[in-house]
């Protein structure tokens, strides 16, 4: 099998990241949140409002912003998977590398911006965050590999 161009790898990654985010969102809404009793998170909207000159002035707009950023970040995770795959990492090695890099960056950036306080998270909250995002990373990897077959 020949190596895809960087544009192809990024495109596959972006599509895979969007689809992986849809899988994570379904997992959250249908499995995790009913089990944990956790309410919706607006961390993506809070991030956008912190770094961009935008403010959601109603709950409806905040929810729309939240989903837009949620899927935009997933697209970025997918593009990172595409870069990893093009660099020779595939399957679980790629998932692990991308997850470790992107998840760590996400937590560090949000902590630096004052949006996260992981030192105050319970073990349960940490597990929920890691599992939800690992579902996204795994789904992105599976979808990317299927698109590459």
Ramachandran region of residue 121, left (φ > 0), alpha (ψ -120 to 50) or beta?
A: beta
Q: Which domain holds residue 18?
A: 6-148
**pLDDT class of 1 with cuts at 50, 70, 90:** low
Are the C-beta atoms of 141 and 81 separated by less than 8 Å?
A: yes
- 116 inside domain: yes
- 1 inside domain: no
> Rounded CA gap, 113 and 46, in Å?
10
Q: What is the mean pLDDT of residues 98-117?
A: 94
pLDDT in tens, 59-104: 999 999 999 999 999 999 999 999 999 999 999 999 999 999 999 9
Number of domains in the chain: 1
Percent of the chain with pLDDT over 90: 97
| Residues comprising the chain, all counted | 149
Q: Has residue 140 got a pLDDT over 70?
A: yes
Q: What is the mean pLDDT of residues 26-51?
A: 96
Q: What is the average pLDDT score of the chain?
A: 95
pTM for this predicted structure: 0.92
**pLDDT class of 149 with cuts at 50, 70, 90:** confident
- 81 inside domain: yes
């Amino acid at each position: 099998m020949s190596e895809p161009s960087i544009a192809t790898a990024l495109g596959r990654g972006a599509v895979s990241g969007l689809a992986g985010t849809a899988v994570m969102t379904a997992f959250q809404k249908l499995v995790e949140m009913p089990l944990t009793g956790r309410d919706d998170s607006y961390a993506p909207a809070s991030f956008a409002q912190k770094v961009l000159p935008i403010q959601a002035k109603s709950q409806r707009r905040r929810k729309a912003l939240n989903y837009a950023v949620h899927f935009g970040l997933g697209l970025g995770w997918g593009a990172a998977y595409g870069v990893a795959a093009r660099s020779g990492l595939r399957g679980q090695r790629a998932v692990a590398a991308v997850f470790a890099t992107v998840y760590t960056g996400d937590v560090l950036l949000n902590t630096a911006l004052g949006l996260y306080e992981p030192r105050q998270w319970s073990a349960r909250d940490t597990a929920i965050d890691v599992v939800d995002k690992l579902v996204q990373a795994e789904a992105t990897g599976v979808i990317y590999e299927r698109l590459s077959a």
